[in-house]
Structures are given as structure tokens and as C-alpha cells.
Structure 1
Amino acid sequence: MFEVDPVASGAAPGPVAPAGAAKTFRGYDQQQSFLLPPSLDDWLAEDDEARFISEIVDDVLDLTAVYASYESASGAPPYDPRMMLKLLLFAYATGVTSSREVQRRCLRDIGFRWLSGNQAPDYRSLARFRRRHLEVLPGLFAQVLAVCAQAGLVSLGRVALDGTKLSANASKHKAMSYDRIVPKIDQLQAEVGALLAEAEQVDRAEDERHGEDRRGDEIPQELARRQGRLAKLRAAKEQIEQDAAEKAAAAAQEIARSKGEAAEDAERAAGEAAANAEPKPKTQRNFTDPQARIMKTNHGFEYAFNAQATVDEDHQIVLATSVTQQATDVQQFEPMMTQTAGSLAAAGIGQTPEVVLVDAGYCSETNLAAASAMPSTVLIATGRQRHDETFPVDVADGLLPPGASRREQMAHALRTKQGRADYARRKAIVEPVFGQMKTRQNAGRLRLRGLSGAQGEWLLHALCHNLRKLRTATVAGIAPA
């Protein structure tokens, strides 16, 4: 037990070490006042990440698009967008994605307090700012990518494309399968009909039955609740049927193309498949986030989104991103190549990647045809050798046999000495980026709901990842300060 020393030299009385203690300790007084007004700038280390984020926002980024959204705003003066953007970037770069946690950090964390100018925006303002400015993120991402290129961090030698699953902000318990939705709609329609009949009787009752503050013609709470559930069920049913039709059409079109059928025949086959498509009974929809889909993640089957990214080899800079509701990657190759070209153009980078590395999840006849028309060398893993491939597995730099298919040509390219050397780098380029973003930035679980929210948040994570790479290179002297 500590004893109170009634005579403390130069300070208010406080706890002291037990009598006879052999060690002398530094003075400690929780009630000590500052002799001069404190400065948060003195408390923040010169190499702190918060200072780097502040410099990027103040000196590098063009925030014209951010400020433009406030021109017609009314009401009380909002928080300065520079401050809010700094907090958002610093929070995501350090793995703080909760608006409530950011508000707490603004009171307790030196980096957050310094960035906010000793203010503490409430979590609603932070959340609204994040959602409000999702549409300007592509422009900010392009600016950061341009800075990375100017710093020599983008070489476009080898580029890898891959996908990863992001857990959606949706509860498994707020979902229903197609075979339960259909009978539930019938049940709710019957209940709504009964409640409407009862509501008509209630409307005719005398006013005193409803209380002084009620008109007497309000919809009963039970009816409103059931009507809301019925609307959600109908929307989920229609979405499941639409998705089944689109999936059937895409599959039919892919089969037609692989057989070399004409475009008109492929379109006709897709239309017939869509018209005859029937949803699987166990297909589910979530009512918390109806746009999320059940996907297999590292934690089992969860409601999730499929996030895509192309990554440059030398410094693992993310070149482009997208998010899709499709669990498989096969339909994302062409959109991501287009997205990558657009992202490089927006950043003022006039080059194209020399080699693009893609895993077997993207392999299809359509994608192989698209790859053969690209200016870059594209290596798409074809999986194991198929029984109808006409050349042996160990063929290397020899000539292809006559009449080789696109799949056989790609398999041959992967088995050459250069192809093996290039493709061996795929995992080392893109997969560490996903690991870093999910571990350091808490990117594996989304905060925003809906496909547009998921796309914006994933792009925000990619932007912050590139900022961290830029800071690391600057500190290491690789990039100019």
C-alpha cells in the first residue's frame, strides 16, 4: 500500500513510495498544471503518419470537387472539408473505419487531435462526409496514383490482377431463401387484406377511441409493419429472379461464343435462356444489405462482395479497383482491364503494362480472346491440362502444333521459360497487398452498405494503401520527398 506524505516538496501532496524503498523514481503528479499553454504540434513526432497525410491533403491534392458540393449548401457552417478528409484518410490508413471510433480518437489520440485542430466532429458528421464524397474518390485516387508515378513507384513491367472477398455489413439472420419468400408473400398478402378490412372498421369508430392527438385515419402499426415486410419480400423475389435470368443468359452466351456461333445466334440463345431461367430454391437475399451476396470467404460462407484490384509489381501500387456482386472472377477480366487503362489515363500515365498476370479463376474462351487482342502480354492460368489438349505438358520453347486452340496457346505460353518466370511472380505481387490492406487497414469488413458504398469504400482503402506505400518510399529515400 502507498502512504500519503503530508509534506511534498514543491508540489501538492500525493502518493509516495513505501518507506525504505531502495530505488528513487521520477516525480509523478496527475494534478500538475502546465506552466505555458500546451501545443499539440510539440507532442506529435516529426515522422508521424498524420503529418504525411496532412501534407498530402494541403499541398498535393486538388480538392475543387470536394468544395464544389458545398456551394449550394444551407444551414450552419460545416466542418472544413480539408480537416474531415484528413481524418478520413488517416483513420482508414490506420485501420479505424468506425465513425464512432474516429470521434473517440479525436478526444484521446494525439494524431487525430492534431489533424482535427483539437476539434471532435460527431460521428454522424463523419459518416455523412464519407458517404457524401464517395463520388469524388476516383479523382482523388487518380491524383495519388499520379504522385506515385512521379515518385518512380509505378513501373508497369509486370501487373497482377486478382480478387478478394470483403465481408458485407449484413447479418446472416436477416435473410430468407427463395423457397421461403414465395409462400411468405402469400401469407402476408392474406394478413394485409384482413388488416385492411379491420382498418376500415376502425376508421368508422368514434374519435375518442383514437385519442386527442390522432386524426383517426392513421394506418395501424401492425398493418404498416406487414406492408413494409411484404414490399421487401417482393423486391427480394424480383431480384432473385432477375439475377437467375442474367446468369442463365451469360452462361448461354458464353457457350455460344465458345462454339463459334454468330453474334445474333448467341444473343438469341441468351434471351431464350433468360426467359426460361428458374431461381434455385435455396438462393438467398439479405434484408440488411439486399445487394450483398453469399460468398465463400476465409471465415466460411458470409454475405460479401467480390473486390478486384490490379497491382504494379515494383512497389505494390494499386492501379485500379472495382467491386462486384458476382462470387466468381471470370466475368471481371475485361472490365478490370478497361478500368486499369482508364485509371492510368486519368493519372496521366501514358504507358500500358508489359505483362499482365491473371490466375485460373479468370480463364474463359471470351477472356482468352480478349487477352490475345491486348497490347500487353497476358498470361492467364488455364488450370490443369485438359484431356483434349494436343501437345504434351513438358513442351517448352518449341513450336505450337498446327490448329492449337486459344487455351492451348495460353498453356504453351505459360510453360515457356519466360512464361514460367513471369507467372511465378503473380502471388508475390497482388496477394500481399490484400493481406496488408486487411490487416493494417481493417479492409476485410465493410462499413458501408450497398454496391456503390462497397465500391467507394474499397477504393478508399486502395487510395490509403497507395499513400502508405508513398510514405514508406519517401522515408526510405526511394521516392523524392
Structure 2
Amino acid sequence: MVSSRVAPAGAGKTFRGYDQQQQFLLPPSLDDWLDEDDEARFVSEVVDDVLDLSGVYASYESAAGAPPYDPRMMLKLLLFAYSTGVTSSREVERRCKRDIGFRWLSGNQAPDYRSLARFRRRHLGVLPGLFAQVLQVCAQAGLVRLGRVALDGTKLHANASKHKAISYDRIVPKIDQLHAEVDALLAEAEAVDQAEDDEHGPERRGDEIPAELARRETRLAKLRAAKEQIEADAAEKAAAAAREKAEAAGKPAEQAEQAAVDAAGNAKPKPKAQRNFTDPEARIMKTNHGFDYAFNAQAAVDEDHQIVLAAQVTQQATDVQQFVPMTEQTVSILTVAGIGQSPQTVLADAGYCSESNLAAAGKLASQVLIATGRQDHDERFPQGMVEGPPPEGASRREQMAHTLRTAQGHADYARRKAIVEPVFGQIKTRQNAGQLRLRGLAGAQGEWLLHALCHNLRKLRNATTIGIVPA
């Protein structure tokens, strides 16, 4: 049947035929619909021919119930979705019905969004192993050179609402208020029970909890947990600050640790310190869009092809405490991936500069360049470019400032932004990583690692496409 609609009067151009009711003889296979160089084919080949999925399959050995979807298919969908910026399980389900790439990967199945979400959450624990495998493939393809490696952090918005939070100065009076309300409701319930016993006899069970009482007790438990978490955070921050101050003053490790213990015991939370009820593990941080609940995502990036070597998420808004964990993790992952080599130079901005980090940097096999930030009144930083070693008696910060002002140090550090900042931009723009889907620290860590894995896969595919790596 031909559509009755006609071109507007006066249109003298002839157009190609258009009939939405036209019947077609479609290709017998979806494979014929997909371009040979489509990203979906690359993801499928990596999962089928490269990755060891024994860790994924192991979780199903004792599983009961109906047969689940094939883990290979689910992992392909997950990797392809995150690589193309689709992080919603509901959207993946829709794409499996409408998008040729998704339909081809799923074998023309359409897993429901609950199954997709459960698969993602269930296998967070195997992501570090898969990440190391992809990193090993990138290294074998010549994409990991370990010359300069840049370390930096970026903020990822948590799946938490700012309207579902309460500050410390409101928690204590709220707890007292709820205590009074619960006591009043319990007294009322007891009086009602006694009256009903007098009227109907003592056969009534009497253990039914009024809905109003249950709601208040639930809120009271959440408030207590939030109060304890805020107090624990304040103690941890006070201990870290005291330990850093003692180490900077050159005190022995025992005295530094005792100072940290004393500071933690005397710590008092700030009145405006908040805890969120949607995601209690998220923290208020300064982002590009103002203050919001977020996580601090760290990454160590290799220079030549911007391959992510390590990825970690923390609840701490600042980067200063992440230098040692990230350098240790980078070395560990390189060992697991079979690379067995340390970076020649590690670059970090002033957010990582501290006395303890400078001391730790001196113990690494790599040369470390950390921006020193502003000069204190009692420090002597060199002015302009210098040559030769630092002067005798210089502090660690003064030594680092001297190294950064040598010709080689200046040239190396100048590359920091160009190495790591584009990676954050690519992941957030192409993969929609700026907004997390999973809640909790473990969920945020797994999702950030998944984004880093997909970023490395895209770099590997691009290198293969343009001929850097033989196809």
C-alpha cells in the first residue's frame, strides 16, 4: 500500500520513494547488518578470544534456579554499553531491541534491566582481574611504554540527592526528639494493650508494632548510624593531620602515632558536617558544578597512548593521602599484568605534596616530580632555572623545588596535564562517567574501574584501526 501523503504543492524536485508499509526481505542474519569495523565486533572478539572469564563463571557453580543469561553475552553488553556512554540498565534493555550493535551482541535477546543491573553488581569483584588482563594486552601491543606516568584525581558525582542529607548539629536534637516520640508511642501502645486485655481478655498476641512506631525507630537507627559515621570521619581526619604534623617536625614514628591517637580521641565533628541517607558513603566535595555528593576518582596514566595503569576511588576530597596507595597499586597491577617494570618518571600536582609523600617518593624506583605549591616563609625555593644538585641541608620540599627547576625536571613536569587531563575528559564525555550509577564505595570503585577498562579497550581498538597495532 502506498502512502496517501503527497509532496507540498509547487515542489518540483523528485524524491526517492518512501513507504513505511513497504514489506522487506531482511537479511537472515544480524551479522549482515553490522559494519565490519563496528566497535561491537571488537568488544565481542576481546571477550571471546582474549579475556579469561573463569572468575566470572566461578560465581555460578553453586547457583540454583532457572538458567541465567550467558555471562559472555552479558559482559559484552556491559563493556559495549560503557564504552559508548550507556550506563543505564534500562537504556541497555531498550538498546537490545532497537540498536543493531546491541542486538548483535545479545544474539537478538533482550535481557531485562534487573538482570543487567544484578550482573553488573554481582561481578564487581572480578573487574580488577579483567582490568589487568586488558592492560597486559595493551602492553603486548606496545601501547604501554612506562616513560612518564601522570597521577591525578577527578570528582565523580555520586548517585545521591543533596536533599536527603542531615548535618551533625541537627542529628543530636533530632535523636532526642525521636527518643521522646518513641517512648510516648510505646507508652500509648502499652496502655492500649492493657485496655484491650481488660475488654477482650489476655489472648491477643500484643506484639504487633504500630506503623508509626516502626517508621520512627527506622529513622532513629539511620540517624544514629549517620552520627557515628560523622564522628568517625572527624577522628580519622584529626589523626591524619596530627600524624602529618608530627612527621613534618621530625618526631619518631611512635610519637607521631601517639599524637594521631590523642587527636582522634579529642576530635569533634564540625556542626555542618553532613551525611547522606541515599548513599551514606558519598561525601560533599567541590566539583565543576559546585559542591555536591561525590567520590574522588584517582588514575595513573601512561604518556604515549594514555593507557590507564591504575584506577581507584576514595571518599577523601583531597589527593594528598592518595599518593602512596596509587603508586603501590600501579606497581602491583603492572606486576599482575606481567609487565614487571616501573615507570621512569611519576608526575603529580601540588595536591599530592606533603612531607610523608616526599619521603615515600624517595623510596620508589621511579623518579618522582611533585609540584611543591606555594613557598613557605622559612623555605628557600630557587628562582628561575637551575643546574646541578640541590644545595646541602635543603629540606625535601626545597630539594623537590630545585629538581622541578632543572631543565629536565621542567620539561618532564610540563607534560603532566597533557597526559592525564585528556583521559578524564574522554572518559567523562565519551563514556558518561561523570555521574555514577552504583551507590556505595565498593560500587563507585567497581564502576570507575569498569570505565578505565573500557577506556583502555577503546585505545587498543583505535591503535589497531589506524595501524599502530597489527590487526
User: TM exceeds 0.5?
Assistant: yes
- Aligned match for 1:436, one of 406, 414, 426: 426
The counterpart of 1:61, out of the listed 17, 26, 51, is: 51
Pick which of 43-52 and 409-418 moved more.
Answer: 43-52
Aligned-partner SS, 2:154: strand
Cα distance in 1 for partners of 2:430, 2:193 equals 59
Q: 2:311 aligns with which of 305, 321, 329?
A: 321
- State the identity as a percent: 81
The match for 1:28 among 5, 9, 18 is 18
Unaligned runs of at least 5 residues, structure 2: none
SS in 1 for 2:218: helix
Distance in structure 1 (CA, Å) of the matches to 2:384 and 2:19: 76
Code of the aligned partner of 2:351:
G
Give 1:392 deviation, angstroms.
Answer: 3.3
Counterpart of 1:322 in 2: which secondary structure? strand
* Residues 278 and 13 (structure 1), Cα distance of their counterparts in 2 relative to 1, 3 Å cut: closer
Instruction: From the superposition, tell whether residues 27 and 324 of structure 1 become closer, same or farther in structure 2 (CA, over 3 Å).
Output: same
Q: In structure 2, give the amino acid aligned to 1:274.
A: A
Counterpart-to-counterpart distance in 2, 1:137 and 1:452: 12
**SS, match of residue 279 in structure 1:** coil
| Structure 1 residue 27, shift from structure 2 partner | 2.3
RMSD between superposed Cα atoms in Å = 1.8
- The answer for the alignment partner of 1:475 in structure 2 is 465
Give CA deviations for 1:136-155 in whole Å, capped at 9, x if unaligned.
00000000000000110000
Residue pair 1:146, 1:348 contacting (<8 A) in 2 also:
yes
1:339-371 per-residue CA deviation (whole Å, 9 max, x = no partner) reads 101111111101100000000000000000000
Of the three residues 411, 425, 432, the one matched with 2:415 is 425
1:89 aligns with 2:79: yes
Counterpart of 1:365 in structure 2 is: 355
- Could you say which residue in structure 2 is the equivalent of 1:124? 114
The code of the aligned residue for 1:261 comes to K
Deviation at 1:203, TM superposition (A): 3.8
1:277 to 267, 278, 288: 267
1:29 deviation in Å? 2.0
Residue type at the aligned position of 2:185: L
Counterpart of 1:348 (choices 338, 350, 355) is 338
Q: CA deviation at 1:217?
A: 3.0
SS in 2 for 1:266: helix
Amino acid in the other structure paired with 2:396: R
- The structure 2 residue matched to 1:76, chosen from 59, 66, 87, is 66
Q: Give unmatched runs, 5+ long, in structure 1.
A: 1-10
Q: What is the deviation of 1:40?
A: 1.6
Residue 177 of structure 1 aligns with which residue? 167
What is the match of residue 158 of structure 2?
168
TM-score by length of 2: 0.96
Separation in 1 of the partners of 2:32 and 2:192? 69
CA deviation profile, 1:64-98 (whole Å, cap 9, x unmatched): 11011011111111111111101100110011111
Matches within 5 A, 1:142-161: 142-161=132-151
CA contact (8 A) 2:175 2:220 kept: yes
Task: Give, as a single letter, the amino acid of the residue that structure 2 aligns with 1:124.
Answer: R
SS of residue paired to 2:317: coil
Offset of 1:22 from its aligned partner? 3.0
What displacement does 1:216 show?
Answer: 5.6
Query: 2:75 & 2:447 partners in 1: Cα distance?
Result: 14
Which residue of 2 is the match for residue 394 of structure 1? 384
Moved more, 29-38 or 364-373: 29-38
2-structure distance, mates of 1:36, 1:96: 28
Change in CA separation of 1:75 and 1:416 when aligned onto 2, cut-off 3 Å: same
Asked if the contact 1:181–1:237 (Cα under 8 Å) also holds between the matched residues in 2, the reply is yes
**1:384 lines up with 2:377 in the alignment:** no
1:321/1:459 contact within 8 Å kept: yes
Q: Residues 203 and 81 of structure 1: is their aligned pair in 2 closer, same or farther, counting only changes over 3 Å?
A: farther
CA contact (8 A) 2:155 2:287 kept: yes
Per-residue deviation, residues 403-426 of structure 1 (Å, max 9, x unmatched): 011111100000000000000000
**SS in structure 1 opposite 2:380?**
coil
Q: 1:464 corresponds to which residue?
A: 454
Match for residue 193 of structure 1? 183
From 101, 107, 114, give the equivalent of 2:104. Answer: 114
Confirm or deny: 8 A CA contact 1:385 1:393 kept in the other structure. no
Corresponding pairs, count: 467
Deviation at 1:18, TM superposition (A): 5.6
Deviation at 1:260, TM superposition (A): 1.1
Contact 1:256 1:269 in 2 (8 A): yes
Mapped to 1, the partners of 2:190 and 2:173 lie a distance apart of 26
**Counterpart contact for 1:174–1:287, Cα < 8 Å:** yes
Which ranges of 4 or more aligned residues in structure 1 deviate by more than 6 Å?
none
Alignment check: 8 A CA contact 1:391 1:401 kept: no
Task: Report the equivalent of 1:449.
Answer: 439
> Which deviations, in whole Å up to 9, do the C-alpha atoms of 1:12-40 show, x marking residues without a partner?
56544467753332222222223355422
State the Cα deviation string for residues 266-285 of structure 1 (Å, max 9, x = none): 11111111111111101000
